Amino acid sequence: MRVAFPIKENNGIESLVFNHFGSAMGFIIFDTETDEMKTVKNKDVDHKSGRCQPLKALDGEVVDAVVVGGIGIGALQKLNASNISVFHAVEGTVNENLELIKSGKLPEFLPGMTCKGHGPGGKCIH
């Protein structure tokens, strides 16, 4: 399974999972079958609120899942329509969340759990 983790700062597997998909500077993509990891820049970081293009953000990378602290309803629906599952991250590192998704302990994002907009400093309003 290829899993994308939005990040604000790249510290490899010890990067903190960012709290909002669309505002992340980039993504760590981890393949759980091969243990390969790569980083891609968010190609849609400058989108207007509510107009996130998640597949563009992922720079064409094919993933099976996204693990993130927060996401808007539009991005969630677009990812789900592309058969990409979205899971709610716990506060912590890519490595910590990777272990949780592998063990099936992260909840899947549902529409009622999404962000309601951007607050001060670009933070999610939940």
CATH number at residue 54: 3.30.420.130
Q: What share of the chain is helix, strand, coil (3-state, %, to 5)?
A: 20, 30, 50
Q: Are 58 and 40 in contact (CB under 8 A)?
A: yes
Per-residue pLDDT, 43: 85
pLDDT at 122 over 60: no
Count the alpha carbons within 13 Å of 17 in the hemisphere toward its beta carbon: 25
Per-residue pLDDT, 47: 54
Domain count, the chain: 1
Where residue 78 falls among pLDDT bands split at 50, 70, 90?
Answer: very high
Question: Does residue 60 fall inside a structural domain?
Answer: yes
Q: Which domain holds residue 98?
A: 2-112
Question: Does residue 118 fall inside a structural domain?
Answer: no
Question: Does residue 16 fall inside a structural domain?
Answer: yes
Question: Does residue 65 fall inside a structural domain?
Answer: yes
Where residue 84 falls among pLDDT bands split at 50, 70, 90?
Answer: very high
Question: Does residue 125 fall inside a structural domain?
Answer: no
Average pLDDT value for the chain: 87
Higher-confidence residue: 39 or 122?
Answer: 39
pLDDT at 126 over 90: no
Question: Does residue 120 fall inside a structural domain?
Answer: no
pLDDT at 125 over 60: no
Question: Does residue 18 fall inside a structural domain?
Answer: yes
Higher-confidence residue: 70 or 98?
Answer: 98
Chain centre distance of CA 55: 11
Question: Does residue 124 fall inside a structural domain?
Answer: no
**Mean pLDDT to the nearest integer, 10-14:** 96
Q: Are 69 and 20 in contact (CB under 8 A)?
A: yes
